[in-house]
Amino acid sequence: MDFFEQPTSRRSFLRLLFWTPIALVLTRFWPWGCAPSDSRSDGLQVLSASEARTLQAIANLSIPPGGPHPLGAKDFDIPRLSEKWLQIWPREIALFVKLLIGVVEWAPFLVIGKWSRMTRLSPELQDLYLDRFSNHRWYHLRNMIRLPKALCFNAFYGLPEVKNDMGYQLRCG
């Protein structure tokens, strides 16, 4: 099916526009959600502890240890590193990212039919979940994982240790 010939794409986007604020409210105000009332991780300014856990889980799955370069996301505090972006971005964009992280945390029932938060799934199921999420047939849903993932990659590959390990260095002169 060619999405250009179907109005479904635009309709699904509008649907997304309708449901995301509701999801935001739910994830932020449910007592077990990604709410600011959660005790924050030490020193984190933008992310709640729950959001930090989700982001770290996404990072761990996206950047596993091993291979020619042994370092993995597990070796670093990715949420803390990601915060430098979240702090410089305009507030509404940082809020949007928090919303996306919340959606990733709460969407296993949508993607793999499990009524659980992402961080409470087993590692195998987390892996399956992230894979299916990233390749979901619904374009706007699979797009939602892109930004949190990009944040993780950015944080990890921006580390001097990782750059040194890869032999990467921007030099001038």
Partner 1 sequence: MIIESLHIQGPIRDKADVCIIGSGSAGSILAYRLQKAGMRVIVLEEGGYYTNKDFTSNPTEMMGKLYKNRGLMMTVGTPVIPICQGRCVGGSSVINTGTCFRTPISVLEDWEKNEGVEGLSASDLLPHFQDLEQVLGVGPVLEALVGRNNLILKSGLEKLGWRGALLPKNAPTCIGCSRCNIGCPINAKKSMLITYLPMASDLGTKIYADCRVEQILTQRRRAVGVRGAILDRATEKREQEFEILADRVILCAGAFGSPMILQKSHLANSSGQVGKNLHIHPAGAAFALFPEEILGWQGNPQGFGIYQFEEEGILIESSFGPVELMASSLPFGGKEHKEWMAQFKHWAAYGALIKDESSGSVRWLPGWRPWVTYHLTPSDATRIVRGLQYLAQAYFASGARDVYAAIRGFPILHSMEEVELAWKRYSVNGQDLELAAFHPMGTCRMGADRKRAVVDSRCQTYDIENLYICDSSVLPTALGVNPQLTIMAVASRTAERMIHN
Q: Which residues bind partner 1 (CB under 8 A)?
A: 2-4, 9-10, 13, 61-64, 66-69, 72, 84-85, 88-90, 92-93, 127, 130-131, 134-135, 139, 143, 146, 149-150, 153-154, 156-158, 163, 166-173
| Residue with token string 């987390």 | 126
Instruction: Pick the closer one to partner 1 by CB: 49 or 147.
Output: 147
Could you give the C-alpha distances from 22 to 15, 32, 99, 137, in angstroms and in order? Answer: 11, 16, 10, 22
Shortest distance (Å) from residue 72 CB to partner 1: 8
Q: Are 58 and 152 in contact (CB under 8 A)?
A: yes
Between 48 and 82, whose beta carbon lies closer to partner 1? 82
Separation CA 24–CA 30 (nearest Å): 10
Residue type, 127: D
Instruction: For partner 1, give the closer residue by CB, 21 or 26.
Output: 21
CB 32 → partner 1: shortest distance, Å? 27
C-alpha 19/C-alpha 54 separation (Å) is 21
Q: Which is nearer to partner 1, 39 or 169 (CB)?
A: 169
